[in-house]
Structure 1
Protein backbone atom coordinates (compact mmCIF):
# COMPACT_ATOMS: atom_id res chain seq x y z
CA UNK A 1 0.00 0.00 0.00
CA UNK A 2 1.34 3.41 -0.97
CA UNK A 3 1.17 6.13 1.65
CA UNK A 4 0.18 9.72 0.95
CA UNK A 5 2.94 12.32 0.81
CA UNK A 6 3.77 13.99 4.11
CA UNK A 7 3.06 17.71 3.71
CA UNK A 8 3.22 18.43 7.43
CA UNK A 9 6.62 20.11 7.06
CA UNK A 10 5.36 22.39 4.29
CA UNK A 11 6.64 22.89 0.79
CA UNK A 12 9.72 24.90 -0.11
CA UNK A 13 8.03 27.31 -2.53
CA UNK A 14 11.28 28.53 -4.10
CA UNK A 15 12.43 24.98 -4.81
CA UNK A 16 9.02 23.93 -6.15
CA UNK A 17 8.79 26.95 -8.47
CA UNK A 18 12.29 26.42 -9.87
CA UNK A 19 11.61 22.70 -10.30
CA UNK A 20 8.45 23.53 -12.27
CA UNK A 21 10.12 26.06 -14.57
CA UNK A 22 12.86 23.58 -15.44
CA UNK A 23 10.17 21.20 -16.65
CA UNK A 24 8.06 23.86 -18.39
CA UNK A 25 6.38 22.44 -21.49
CA UNK A 26 6.92 24.36 -24.70
CA UNK A 27 9.41 27.19 -24.99
CA UNK A 28 12.01 27.92 -22.34
CA UNK A 29 10.79 29.84 -19.33
CA UNK A 30 12.26 31.95 -16.58
CA UNK A 31 10.96 33.05 -13.19
CA UNK A 32 10.82 36.80 -12.59
CA UNK A 33 9.97 37.70 -9.00
CA UNK A 34 7.88 34.56 -8.62
CA UNK A 35 6.07 34.65 -11.97
CA UNK A 36 6.81 32.12 -14.70
CA UNK A 37 7.40 33.88 -18.01
CA UNK A 38 8.08 32.22 -21.35
CA UNK A 39 11.44 33.15 -22.86
CA UNK A 40 10.58 33.33 -26.54
CA UNK A 41 12.54 36.18 -28.17
CA UNK A 42 11.61 37.67 -31.52
CA UNK A 43 13.93 37.64 -34.52
CA UNK A 44 14.90 41.31 -34.19
CA UNK A 45 15.74 40.64 -30.55
CA UNK A 46 17.88 37.64 -31.54
CA UNK A 47 19.59 39.75 -34.22
CA UNK A 48 20.70 42.33 -31.63
CA UNK A 49 22.02 39.61 -29.30
CA UNK A 50 23.87 37.97 -32.20
CA UNK A 51 25.59 41.28 -33.10
CA UNK A 52 26.93 41.59 -29.54
CA UNK A 53 27.89 37.91 -29.42
CA UNK A 54 29.91 38.17 -32.64
CA UNK A 55 31.89 41.12 -31.28
CA UNK A 56 32.89 39.35 -28.07
CA UNK A 57 33.30 35.74 -29.21
CA UNK A 58 37.02 35.87 -30.08
CA UNK A 59 37.88 37.47 -26.74
CA UNK A 60 35.60 34.99 -24.94
CA UNK A 61 37.56 32.13 -26.55
CA UNK A 62 40.88 33.73 -25.56
CA UNK A 63 39.66 33.93 -21.96
CA UNK A 64 38.76 30.20 -21.95
CA UNK A 65 35.09 30.97 -21.59
CA UNK A 66 31.77 30.19 -23.26
CA UNK A 67 29.02 32.63 -24.21
CA UNK A 68 25.43 31.46 -24.27
CA UNK A 69 22.00 31.75 -22.72
CA UNK A 70 22.09 29.10 -20.02
CA UNK A 71 20.09 29.15 -16.82
CA UNK A 72 21.04 31.38 -13.89
CA UNK A 73 19.70 30.59 -10.43
CA UNK A 74 19.32 33.28 -7.79
CA UNK A 75 19.15 31.20 -4.57
CA UNK A 76 17.01 32.52 -1.75
CA UNK A 77 14.75 34.32 -4.22
CA UNK A 78 11.93 33.29 -6.54
CA UNK A 79 14.07 34.06 -9.62
CA UNK A 80 15.47 31.81 -12.33
CA UNK A 81 16.82 33.79 -15.28
CA UNK A 82 17.73 33.00 -18.87
CA UNK A 83 19.94 35.90 -19.94
CA UNK A 84 20.28 36.73 -23.62
CA UNK A 85 24.03 36.25 -23.25
CA UNK A 86 26.14 35.18 -20.30
CA UNK A 87 29.90 34.67 -20.44
CA UNK A 88 31.13 31.94 -18.09
CA UNK A 89 34.38 30.03 -17.63
CA UNK A 90 34.52 26.87 -19.77
CA UNK A 91 34.94 24.56 -16.75
CA UNK A 92 31.71 25.84 -15.18
CA UNK A 93 29.79 25.37 -18.43
CA UNK A 94 30.51 21.62 -18.37
CA UNK A 95 28.35 20.94 -15.31
CA UNK A 96 25.01 21.07 -17.08
CA UNK A 97 23.14 22.79 -14.25
CA UNK A 98 22.27 26.37 -13.54
CA UNK A 99 25.00 28.82 -12.59
CA UNK A 100 24.95 31.81 -10.27
CA UNK A 101 25.29 35.40 -11.51
CA UNK A 102 28.60 35.83 -9.65
CA UNK A 103 30.05 32.96 -11.70
CA UNK A 104 29.67 35.00 -14.89
CA UNK A 105 32.11 37.50 -16.35
CA UNK A 106 29.41 39.38 -18.27
CA UNK A 107 25.64 39.27 -18.61
CA UNK A 108 23.87 40.89 -21.56
CA UNK A 109 20.13 41.52 -21.69
CA UNK A 110 18.40 42.84 -24.83
CA UNK A 111 15.06 44.52 -24.20
CA UNK A 112 11.82 43.72 -25.97
CA UNK A 113 8.54 45.57 -25.63
CA UNK A 114 7.28 42.86 -23.30
CA UNK A 115 10.27 42.86 -20.92
CA UNK A 116 11.99 46.25 -21.13
CA UNK A 117 11.16 47.35 -17.56
CA UNK A 118 12.14 43.95 -16.19
CA UNK A 119 15.58 44.19 -17.83
CA UNK A 120 16.04 47.87 -16.87
CA UNK A 121 14.95 47.61 -13.24
CA UNK A 122 14.37 44.13 -11.80
CA UNK A 123 17.19 42.23 -13.46
CA UNK A 124 19.64 45.10 -13.02
CA UNK A 125 18.92 45.15 -9.27
CA UNK A 126 19.05 41.37 -8.92
CA UNK A 127 22.22 40.93 -10.99
CA UNK A 128 23.94 43.50 -8.75
CA UNK A 129 22.60 41.83 -5.60
CA UNK A 130 23.94 38.46 -6.81
CA UNK A 131 27.28 40.02 -7.79
CA UNK A 132 27.32 39.69 -11.57
CA UNK A 133 30.45 41.76 -12.30
CA UNK A 134 29.29 43.31 -15.60
CA UNK A 135 25.74 43.82 -16.85
CA UNK A 136 25.28 45.19 -20.37
CA UNK A 137 21.78 46.44 -21.11
CA UNK A 138 20.95 46.75 -24.81
CA UNK A 139 17.78 48.81 -24.69
CA UNK A 140 16.13 48.53 -28.09
CA UNK A 141 13.13 50.60 -26.97
CA UNK A 142 15.35 53.52 -25.92
CA UNK A 143 17.97 52.96 -28.65
CA UNK A 144 20.79 52.85 -26.12
CA UNK A 145 23.36 50.69 -24.35
CA UNK A 146 24.42 50.94 -20.73
CA UNK A 147 27.17 49.04 -18.93
CA UNK A 148 26.73 48.48 -15.20
CA UNK A 149 29.68 47.39 -13.05
CA UNK A 150 30.87 47.23 -9.44
CA UNK A 151 27.90 45.35 -7.98
CA UNK A 152 26.65 45.68 -4.43
CA UNK A 153 23.59 45.06 -2.29
CA UNK A 154 22.17 48.46 -3.24
CA UNK A 155 22.83 48.08 -6.97
CA UNK A 156 25.66 48.79 -9.34
CA UNK A 157 27.91 51.63 -8.23
CA UNK A 158 29.39 52.32 -11.66
CA UNK A 159 27.28 53.12 -14.73
CA UNK A 160 28.64 53.81 -18.22
CA UNK A 161 25.78 55.20 -20.29
CA UNK A 162 23.22 55.26 -21.58
CA UNK A 163 24.95 55.70 -24.92
CA UNK A 164 22.87 56.01 -28.11
CA UNK A 165 23.08 53.24 -30.68
CA UNK A 166 25.99 54.11 -32.95
CA UNK A 167 28.36 54.86 -30.07
CA UNK A 168 31.33 52.67 -29.25
CA UNK A 169 31.19 51.18 -25.75
CA UNK A 170 34.34 49.92 -24.05
CA UNK A 171 34.05 46.64 -22.13
CA UNK A 172 36.61 46.71 -19.29
CA UNK A 173 38.97 43.94 -18.16
CA UNK A 174 38.99 41.06 -18.60
CA UNK A 175 37.47 41.83 -22.02
CA UNK A 176 39.27 45.08 -22.82
CA UNK A 177 37.48 45.57 -26.12
CA UNK A 178 35.16 47.98 -27.87
CA UNK A 179 31.57 47.14 -28.78
CA UNK A 180 30.23 48.89 -31.88
CA UNK A 181 26.56 49.54 -31.19
CA UNK A 182 25.76 50.90 -34.65
CA UNK A 183 23.97 47.79 -35.89
CA UNK A 184 21.84 47.18 -32.79
CA UNK A 185 18.93 49.40 -33.83
CA UNK A 186 16.24 48.68 -36.40
CA UNK A 187 17.41 47.87 -39.90
Structure 2
Protein backbone atom coordinates (compact mmCIF):
# COMPACT_ATOMS: atom_id res chain seq x y z
CA UNK A 1 0.00 0.00 0.00
CA UNK A 2 1.31 3.43 -0.88
CA UNK A 3 1.02 6.44 1.34
CA UNK A 4 0.31 9.98 0.26
CA UNK A 5 3.17 12.45 0.36
CA UNK A 6 3.29 14.61 3.48
CA UNK A 7 2.18 17.71 1.57
CA UNK A 8 -0.68 15.91 -0.27
CA UNK A 9 -3.43 17.86 1.55
CA UNK A 10 -1.45 21.09 1.84
CA UNK A 11 -3.51 24.03 0.67
CA UNK A 12 -6.79 22.07 0.48
CA UNK A 13 -9.61 24.00 2.12
CA UNK A 14 -12.11 21.35 3.35
CA UNK A 15 -15.03 23.83 3.40
CA UNK A 16 -14.37 24.93 -0.16
CA UNK A 17 -13.88 21.35 -1.35
CA UNK A 18 -17.16 20.21 0.22
CA UNK A 19 -19.11 23.13 -1.26
CA UNK A 20 -17.51 22.55 -4.65
CA UNK A 21 -18.52 18.88 -4.53
CA UNK A 22 -22.16 19.51 -3.53
CA UNK A 23 -22.62 21.84 -6.49
CA UNK A 24 -21.58 19.07 -8.86
CA UNK A 25 -23.84 16.27 -7.64
CA UNK A 26 -25.69 14.89 -10.63
CA UNK A 27 -29.47 14.58 -10.57
CA UNK A 28 -31.21 16.02 -7.53
CA UNK A 29 -30.02 19.19 -5.87
CA UNK A 30 -28.32 18.92 -2.52
CA UNK A 31 -27.47 21.10 0.43
CA UNK A 32 -24.99 20.84 3.27
CA UNK A 33 -26.33 21.14 6.81
CA UNK A 34 -23.66 21.20 9.50
CA UNK A 35 -21.29 19.24 7.26
CA UNK A 36 -23.81 16.59 6.16
CA UNK A 37 -24.83 16.44 2.50
CA UNK A 38 -28.61 16.15 2.17
CA UNK A 39 -30.56 15.68 -1.06
CA UNK A 40 -33.22 18.31 -1.72
CA UNK A 41 -36.23 16.44 -3.07
CA UNK A 42 -39.45 17.90 -1.69
CA UNK A 43 -42.79 16.09 -1.92
CA UNK A 44 -45.78 17.57 -3.71
CA UNK A 45 -47.46 18.40 -0.36
CA UNK A 46 -44.34 20.32 0.57
CA UNK A 47 -44.29 22.14 -2.78
CA UNK A 48 -48.01 22.98 -2.48
CA UNK A 49 -47.38 24.67 0.88
CA UNK A 50 -44.47 26.65 -0.55
CA UNK A 51 -46.60 27.67 -3.53
CA UNK A 52 -49.28 29.18 -1.25
CA UNK A 53 -46.64 31.54 0.13
CA UNK A 54 -44.77 32.09 -3.15
CA UNK A 55 -47.93 33.10 -5.04
CA UNK A 56 -48.67 35.82 -2.50
CA UNK A 57 -45.19 37.33 -2.20
CA UNK A 58 -44.21 37.19 -5.88
CA UNK A 59 -46.19 40.30 -7.03
CA UNK A 60 -44.75 42.41 -4.21
CA UNK A 61 -41.26 41.03 -4.83
CA UNK A 62 -41.50 42.15 -8.45
CA UNK A 63 -42.58 45.64 -7.35
CA UNK A 64 -39.47 45.73 -5.16
CA UNK A 65 -37.22 44.69 -8.06
CA UNK A 66 -36.66 41.23 -6.58
CA UNK A 67 -36.90 37.63 -7.67
CA UNK A 68 -38.24 34.66 -5.74
CA UNK A 69 -36.57 31.31 -5.99
CA UNK A 70 -34.69 28.54 -4.27
CA UNK A 71 -31.14 29.35 -5.27
CA UNK A 72 -28.04 28.42 -3.34
CA UNK A 73 -27.10 30.23 -0.14
CA UNK A 74 -23.52 30.01 1.08
CA UNK A 75 -22.63 30.41 4.74
CA UNK A 76 -18.89 31.18 4.54
CA UNK A 77 -16.69 29.96 7.37
CA UNK A 78 -19.06 27.06 8.06
CA UNK A 79 -19.77 23.70 6.49
CA UNK A 80 -23.24 24.89 5.39
CA UNK A 81 -24.64 25.41 1.91
CA UNK A 82 -28.42 25.80 1.94
CA UNK A 83 -31.14 25.54 -0.67
CA UNK A 84 -34.10 27.38 0.90
CA UNK A 85 -37.66 26.62 -0.16
CA UNK A 86 -38.13 30.28 -1.06
CA UNK A 87 -35.78 33.24 -0.96
CA UNK A 88 -36.58 36.79 -2.04
CA UNK A 89 -33.49 38.56 -3.34
CA UNK A 90 -32.82 41.76 -5.27
CA UNK A 91 -32.71 40.95 -8.99
CA UNK A 92 -29.38 42.76 -9.34
CA UNK A 93 -27.79 40.53 -6.67
CA UNK A 94 -29.17 37.37 -8.26
CA UNK A 95 -27.90 38.16 -11.75
CA UNK A 96 -24.88 35.98 -12.46
CA UNK A 97 -24.60 34.79 -8.85
CA UNK A 98 -23.79 31.15 -8.23
CA UNK A 99 -24.66 31.56 -4.57
CA UNK A 100 -25.72 34.39 -2.33
CA UNK A 101 -25.34 35.01 1.37
CA UNK A 102 -28.34 34.99 3.72
CA UNK A 103 -27.72 38.71 4.36
CA UNK A 104 -28.34 39.33 0.64
CA UNK A 105 -31.96 38.19 0.98
CA UNK A 106 -35.03 40.14 2.04
CA UNK A 107 -36.93 37.04 3.15
CA UNK A 108 -36.23 33.33 3.49
CA UNK A 109 -39.04 30.78 3.79
CA UNK A 110 -38.52 27.20 4.91
CA UNK A 111 -41.33 24.62 4.83
CA UNK A 112 -40.75 21.69 7.15
CA UNK A 113 -40.82 18.06 6.12
CA UNK A 114 -41.16 15.01 8.34
CA UNK A 115 -37.57 14.06 7.58
CA UNK A 116 -35.92 17.40 8.36
CA UNK A 117 -38.34 19.49 10.40
CA UNK A 118 -35.91 19.94 13.28
CA UNK A 119 -33.23 21.16 10.87
CA UNK A 120 -35.53 23.97 9.70
CA UNK A 121 -36.84 24.75 13.20
CA UNK A 122 -33.50 24.84 14.99
CA UNK A 123 -30.36 24.69 12.86
CA UNK A 124 -31.40 26.81 9.89
CA UNK A 125 -33.21 29.34 12.10
CA UNK A 126 -30.01 29.87 14.09
CA UNK A 127 -27.74 29.98 11.05
CA UNK A 128 -29.96 32.33 9.04
CA UNK A 129 -29.92 34.76 11.96
CA UNK A 130 -26.17 34.39 12.45
CA UNK A 131 -25.61 35.18 8.76
CA UNK A 132 -27.93 38.21 8.75
CA UNK A 133 -31.10 37.09 6.94
CA UNK A 134 -33.50 39.91 7.94
CA UNK A 135 -36.72 37.84 7.84
CA UNK A 136 -37.20 34.10 8.19
CA UNK A 137 -40.66 32.56 7.84
CA UNK A 138 -41.00 29.02 9.14
CA UNK A 139 -43.97 27.11 7.75
CA UNK A 140 -44.23 24.12 10.09
CA UNK A 141 -46.32 21.48 8.35
CA UNK A 142 -46.14 19.05 11.26
CA UNK A 143 -47.33 21.63 13.81
CA UNK A 144 -49.62 23.32 11.25
CA UNK A 145 -48.23 26.71 12.24
CA UNK A 146 -46.20 29.67 10.99
CA UNK A 147 -43.62 31.79 12.77
CA UNK A 148 -41.97 34.92 11.41
CA UNK A 149 -38.51 35.61 12.84
CA UNK A 150 -36.83 39.01 12.56
CA UNK A 151 -34.04 41.10 14.05
CA UNK A 152 -31.15 38.69 13.44
CA UNK A 153 -28.11 38.48 15.67
CA UNK A 154 -25.13 36.20 16.27
CA UNK A 155 -27.08 34.19 18.85
CA UNK A 156 -30.29 33.92 16.83
CA UNK A 157 -33.32 36.00 16.03
CA UNK A 158 -34.35 38.38 18.79
CA UNK A 159 -37.97 38.64 17.67
CA UNK A 160 -40.51 35.93 16.89
CA UNK A 161 -44.08 36.50 15.75
CA UNK A 162 -45.83 33.19 16.35
CA UNK A 163 -46.30 30.35 16.19
CA UNK A 164 -49.67 31.07 14.59
CA UNK A 165 -52.04 28.34 13.44
CA UNK A 166 -52.78 27.86 9.76
CA UNK A 167 -55.51 30.28 8.73
CA UNK A 168 -54.00 33.27 10.56
CA UNK A 169 -53.06 36.37 8.58
CA UNK A 170 -49.29 36.81 8.90
CA UNK A 171 -48.01 40.35 8.47
CA UNK A 172 -44.73 40.65 6.56
CA UNK A 173 -43.16 43.99 7.58
CA UNK A 174 -41.37 46.51 5.36
CA UNK A 175 -40.30 46.37 2.68
CA UNK A 176 -43.14 43.92 1.97
CA UNK A 177 -45.98 45.47 3.99
CA UNK A 178 -48.07 42.46 3.07
CA UNK A 179 -50.56 40.23 4.87
CA UNK A 180 -50.13 36.55 4.00
CA UNK A 181 -53.36 34.58 3.93
CA UNK A 182 -52.49 31.13 5.27
CA UNK A 183 -55.97 29.60 5.04
CA UNK A 184 -55.05 27.50 1.98
CA UNK A 185 -52.20 25.83 3.89
CA UNK A 186 -54.76 23.85 5.86
CA UNK A 187 -56.53 22.46 2.79
Structure 1 residue 7, shift from structure 2 partner: 2.0
Give the 3 Å change call, closer, same or farther, for CA 44–150 of structure 1 in structure 2: same
Q: What's 1:150 paired with?
A: 151
Distance in structure 2 (CA, Å) of the matches to 1:16 and 1:149: 32
Structure 1 residue 59, shift from structure 2 partner: 0.4
Q: What's 1:172 paired with?
A: 173
Q: What's 2:125 paired with?
A: 124
When the two structures are superposed, what TM-score results if normalisation uses the length of structure 1?
0.95
Give the 3 Å change call, closer, same or farther, for CA 8–14 of structure 1 in structure 2: closer
SS at match of 1:149: strand
Structure 1 residue 93, shift from structure 2 partner: 1.0
Which deviates the most, 42-51 or 10-19?
10-19
Question: In the alignment, does 2:51 pair up with 1:54?
Answer: no
Question: In the alignment, does 2:77 pair up with 1:76?
Answer: yes
Unaligned runs of 5+ in 2: none
Matches within 5 A, 1:1-187: 7-185=8-186, 187=187
Unaligned runs of 5+ in 1: none
Structure 1 residue 150, shift from structure 2 partner: 0.1
Misfit runs of 4+, over 6 Å: none
SS at match of 2:62: helix
Distance in structure 1 (CA, Å) of the matches to 2:178 and 2:27: 37
- Across the two proteins, how many residue pairs are aligned to each other? 183
Distance in structure 2 (CA, Å) of the matches to 1:8 and 1:68: 37
Distance in structure 1 (CA, Å) of the matches to 2:43 and 2:151: 31
SS at match of 2:87: strand
Give the 3 Å change call, closer, same or farther, for CA 137–8 of structure 1 in structure 2: closer
When the two structures are superposed, what TM-score results if normalisation uses the length of structure 2?
0.95
